[in-house]
Amino acid sequence: MIIAKVKPLEEIKDMVKDYPKVLNVGCAGCTAVCLAGGQKEVDTLNTQLNSSFKADKVSFQVDGFTVERQCEMQFLAELDKIAGQYNAFLSMGCGAGVQFLAERFPRIPVFPAVNTSFVGVNKDIGWYEERCSSCGDCVLGITGGICPVTMCAKGLFNGPCGGPEDGHCEVDKDIPCAWVNIYERLKEQGRLENILKIFPARDWQNQIQGKIILEPYKKRYIK
């Protein structure tokens, strides 16, 4: 799922310091799962902001409201009745949610309180790792389930480069070399021929903003 990390307090304060009454909108979806922007995080951040601005003697008040998901207008609709009371919104949803929020309330400045970081997995509570770059052209079947775009620091398709040592990437000793892993995985499955062939140059997808309308639903939206 989407993993995000809350921004440092100073950065958030700097964004909202000129708005005396702010609503911090949380998200019970991805950012709640990765402990970045769910209700508890909203409450905690609000406590910090209120007390910090009070100590600075700046007139400021932030309330919280957590919606199911910020990436669906149906759930953002819950804010319609109370939006008018606020000068600005903080959003603890991912970048997509922030934009939907801004789209729904175009006259209210919206500020992101988290940095949307990557599409990844929950290794364990509080520990998240990137796995997918949303490249739009998945080759995981060929590379034994290890993504060369995301897990190789150089995104090589005919790796490894000359850098790996003791199975780790030249960039960081704690990062395994994706191609060493791909090699071992395919070797174990008896599918090494996959990487003995040359992967030709890719036609990179997602170079413009993506949009998918599923075929069976096209007639609903396209006249």
β-bridge partners, 38: none
Q: How many residues bind other proteins (CB under 8 A)?
A: 59
**Beta pairing, strands 114-124 & 110-112:** unpaired
136 binds other proteins (CB under 8 A): no
Q: What are phi and psi of 102, to 5 degrees?
A: -65, -30
Stretch that binds other proteins, among 15-23, 134-142, 148-156, 208-216 (CB under 8 A): 148-156
- List the structure tokens of 179: 């191609």
Q: Least distance from C-beta 162 to other proteins, angstroms?
A: 4
Q: Is 175 in the site for other proteins (CB under 8 A)?
A: no
Query: How far apart (Å, rounded) are the C-alpha atoms in residues 83 and 65?
Result: 11
The three-class DSSP label of residue 209 is coil
Other C-beta atoms lying within 10 Å of the C-beta of residue 202: 12
CA 179 from chain centre, in angstroms, equals: 25
Residue 206 sits in the site that holds other proteins (CB under 8 A): no
74 contributes a contact to other proteins by CB under 8 A: yes
Q: How far is the CB of 218 from other proteins (least distance, A)?
A: 19
Residues 30-59 that bind other proteins (CB under 8 A): 32-33, 35, 38-41, 44-45, 47-49, 52
Site for other proteins in 84-123 (CB under 8 A): 122
Is omega for the bond preceding 160 within 30 degrees of 0, making it cis?
Answer: yes
Contact (CB, 8 A) for 36 and 6: yes
Question: By the criterion CB under 8 A, which residues form the site for other proteins?
Answer: 6, 8-12, 28, 32-33, 35, 38-41, 44-45, 47-49, 52, 66, 68-69, 74-75, 78, 122, 124-126, 153-167, 170-171, 177, 179-180, 183-184, 196, 198-202, 204
